[in-house]
């Protein structure tokens, strides 16, 4: 019997970033770390996770600080927010540098008039593949950005965040199952789980929540670059028949930032069409 053709999950208005906002973050002050966007093919690139999250937060009524290592990329995000009637500004910051992180959080807090939400959307993959090809410099650089960077953001953030704020870590299903063949990336993303739970514990006395999103395969500029370098990635069978869009990751972040998840902390949500569980 021939195998039945896989059903492809339709794209909703939310999936395409076309849904109207519902003021779920009205009056909120949100810092998106990694809110710019890398370029793979400028003519065809879809929106990336960080930019989609920044745009969605603004659309839902938040004032947004967009931080990125590449200032022009952060400015492009803020320009798109402003074109849609939102309020945003850009900050240059490399999360691997403690002084940059301290300045970023302080500047965001001052310009926003407080801080009650922070999304940590940072990560580098840093090939080559496999342990045999791993050298210590690339290992340490990956962990400096992917794990030490979020730690520094939380260390500074807990000094400034308002009571009842929310912190959202963006990890990867590489934290949940093997398959990327990038040992430093896998280890750093898995390490975010331990960091998140510690932050949730420290923050709980002030009602500050911390949670993790683990995206699966997502159609972003970085995702397309990864698929170009590793053809097997784009051939991975996905239960819903397609990769996620960045907007679908952004709506998961919106859930954790908003009062819809007011009693949820120290949790991990895989947004992966079931790849990590099926």
Phi and psi dihedrals of 57, rounded to 5? -60, -45
Distance (Å, whole) CA 97 – CA 118: 18
Query: Are the C-beta atoms of residues 129 and 42 closer than 8 Å to each other?
Result: no
Tokens of 208: 């500050």
Which residue of the set 160, 185, 251, 263 is catalytic? 185
What tokens were used for 257?
Answer: 């930032």
Measured between alpha carbons, how far is 250 from 201 in angstroms, rounded to an integer? 25
Judge contact between 142 and 185, C-beta under 8 A. yes
How far is it, in rounded angstroms, from Cα 156 to Cα 160?
7
Please check whether residue 62 is in contact with residue 25, taking contact to mean a CB–CB distance below 8 angstroms. Answer: yes
Q: Is 185 a catalytic residue?
A: yes
What is the strand order of the sheet 63-68 is part of?
87-92, 63-68, 29-33, 117-120, 166-170, 209-215, 268-271
Q: Name the one residue in this structure whose structure tokens are 């039945």.
A: 4
* Locus of tokens 């210590």: 136
Report yes or no: 33 and 119 within 8 Å, Cβ to Cβ.
Answer: yes
Place of tokens 């909703």: 12
Structure-token pair, residue 91? 């900050």
| Active-site annotation, residues | 185
């Amino acid at each position: 019997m021939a195998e039945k053709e896989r059903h492809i999950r339709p794209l909703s208005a939310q999936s395409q970033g076309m849904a109207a906002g519902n003021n779920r973050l009205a009056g909120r002050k949100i810092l998106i770390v990694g809110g710019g966007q890398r370029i793979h093919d400028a003519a065809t690139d879809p929106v990336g996770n960080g930019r989609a999250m920044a745009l969605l937060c603004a659309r839902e009524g938040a004032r947004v600080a967009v931080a990125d290592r590449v200032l022009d990329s952060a400015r492009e995000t803020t320009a798109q927010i402003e074109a849609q009637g939102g309020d945003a500004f850009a900050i240059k910051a490399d999360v691997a540098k403690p002084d940059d992180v301290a300045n970023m959080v302080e500047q965001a807090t001052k310009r926003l008039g407080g801080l009650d939400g922070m999304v940590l959307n940072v990560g580098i993959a840093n090939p080559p593949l496999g342990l045999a090809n791993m050298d210590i410099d690339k290992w340490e650089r990956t962990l400096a950005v992917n794990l030490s960077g979020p730690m520094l953001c939380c260390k500074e953030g807990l000094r400034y965040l308002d009571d009842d704020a929310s912190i959202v870590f963006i990890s990867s299903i590489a934290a949940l199952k093997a398959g990327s063949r990038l040992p430093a990336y896998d280890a750093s993303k898995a390490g975010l789980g331990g960091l998140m739970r510690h932050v949730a514990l420290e923050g709980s006395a002030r009602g500050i929540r911390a949670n993790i999103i683990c995206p699966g395969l997502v159609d972003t500029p970085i995702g397309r670059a990864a698929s170009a370098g590793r053809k097997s990635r784009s051939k991975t069978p996905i239960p819903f028949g397609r990769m996620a869009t960045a907007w679908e990751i952004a709506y998961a972040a919106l859930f954790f930032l908003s009062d819809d998840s007011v009693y949820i902390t120290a949790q991990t949500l895989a947004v992966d069409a079931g790849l990590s569980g099926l």
